[in-house]
Amino acid sequence: VEKYTKFVKERSEIELNYARQIRNLSKKYQPKKKEEDDNKYTWCRAFHSTLNELNDYAGQHELIAENMTSQIIAELTRYAQDIKTERKAHFHDGRKAQQQVEASWKQLESCKRKFERDCKEADRAQQYFEKLDADINVTKADVEKARQQAQMRHQMASDSKNEYSSCLQKFNQEQNEHYYTIIPNIFQKIQAMEEKRIERMGGSLKTFAEVDRQILPIIGKCLDGITQVDSSQVIESYKSGFEPPGDVEFEDYGQAMKRTVSETSLTNSRSDNKADRSSKGKSKTLWPFIKKNKDLIYSQTACNTPKRKENLKSHHMTPLRLVYGSNPEDFSHLPPEQRRKKLQAKIDDINKDVQKEMDQRDALTKMKEVYVKNPQMGDPNSVDPRLAEIAHNIEKLQAEAQKFEGWLAEVEGRMPVKSDPPKRTSDRESPDGSYTEEPSSEVQSKVQPETAESGDEFDDADEEMLPTIGTCKALYPFEGANEGTISVVEGELLYVIEEDKGDGWTRVRRNEEEEGYVPTSYVEVFLDSNAKGAITYI
């Protein structure tokens, strides 16, 4: 029982350790808050679902350990103590019975030796009497004395004989009871104890298997929770809403008449865009299939990871720097379709906030009515400041919603309809259906001339060191055992290089060589006053 209990305990510890490692792995790869836009795609959702199912999978292994602990380990631990006590009691009864029969045997031996001794004394006394009686020189008094002594010895021998007979009868009875009643009963109890132990062990073995069997279907459901990947979401996400240019019309140079140009022709679009670009100054056209602009797009999107920052440095490319709030509020830097989605999402968020404020207003209004009817419950005037604040917030949110609705109407008015003839490209459209950025959303990039000839592949290089945006003080010690974390001691001062993105971790630096993540709840952060306006690496 003890050996099997130890085995199950070690098995449960293995299950707990495995579940802990699975949970840590799932937590390590959970998407950050800044990656929410990517999570709408099916492959991202599938991976996210895999991580969630892994958490459930780990939970099932924790459940295995918990069930084994409660149904097997705890029960067998108590039973092992009970069976020890019972076994000890049975062996004590056996030893007691054995001691009792041995004591009876010793008493019988003592009675036997006494009887033997008394018989010999009686024989000697009889022989001595007969000798004196035959001697004519011995006085009559001495003969009488010897005769009395012989009679006394014979009486003692007779008494010893009776006592020996009684002890023998008693011993035989006790010995018979010992071997035919007491010992068999003790062995029967031990046998029953062993049978019960075997049954309990069998039940524990069945429970051990049943715990696993009950979890297997749930684990199967966890493994079935991965979704299939398709590309429809990608198409919906990346379509721009631009209308392709119209056909180029034939220009007849043989007739002396003014040449006409289609409003939707590529040539006209180019001339219009030239004028637009001249009016925009330094605006850049984001054409995704042109090498120069490919590098520019890469600079905007590929610098998000330290690995790609290293690739940029190997080709003499400086990571882009972005000032907070550089993107326009109306999302005019996006293609029409993407802009429409962003504006609609913004309007939905504002409407949700308006609904929350209205719910609070209704609740406070009801509370004020209760206060008016029952002044002892509270002062009705105490609610007025909060109602005024809520009314101001609602008015502000509604004004903001109208502003975004106006922009949305403008975008939907410009969106091409399949039944309509193609329109000429706007001042932000490029001849090939791309778009140009406005000055407010222009990304300042320093790309050296040789970048265009550098090719598409980048070599690894050292990561650009992020600037500090403040300091922090460790409130509690943290070991930093996981990869990417850093250990701190209580009261230690560190530099903050990246704020908490909503995942509960803050990136800090101790010196030029030591940096990593620590739990946000373990530190007290002091951001610099100009941290929000500072230029940071993207």
pLDDT at 198: 93
Q: What is the arithmetic mean of pLDDT over 174-186?
A: 92
pLDDT at 341: 83
Residue 61 has pLDDT above 80, yes or no: yes
CA-wise closest residue to 171 among 101, 114, 93, 113: 101
From the DSSP assignment, how many helices (H) and strands (E) are in the chain?
A: 11, 9
Q: What is the arithmetic mean of pLDDT over 87-95?
A: 93
**360, exposed or middle or buried, with CB in 10 Å at 0-12, 13-18, 19+?**
middle
pLDDT, tens digit, 9 for 90 and up, residues 102-138: 999 999 999 999 999 999 999 998 898 888 888 888 8
Structure tokens at 126: 């009889």
pLDDT, tens digit, 9 for 90 and up, residues 19-49: 999 999 988 988 877 666 666 677 777 788 7
Q: Give the best-scoring range by mean pLDDT among 129-138, 304-313, 342-351.
A: 342-351
pLDDT at 225: 65
* Number of Cβ within a 10 Å radius of residue 285: 21
Contacts of residue 464, defined as CB under 8 A and 6 or more positions apart, other chains included, come to: 309, 313, 319, 537
Residue 292 has pLDDT above 50, yes or no: no
pLDDT at 283: 38
Q: What is the arithmetic mean of pLDDT over 361-382?
A: 84
Confidence (pTM): 0.41
Q: What's CA 121's distance to the chain center, in Å? A: 95
Structure tokens at 220: 């199967």
pLDDT at 190: 93
pLDDT category of residue 84 using cuts at 50, 70 and 90: very high
pLDDT higher at 375 or 151: 151
Q: Which of 119-128, 293-302, 481-490 has the lowest mean pLDDT?
A: 293-302
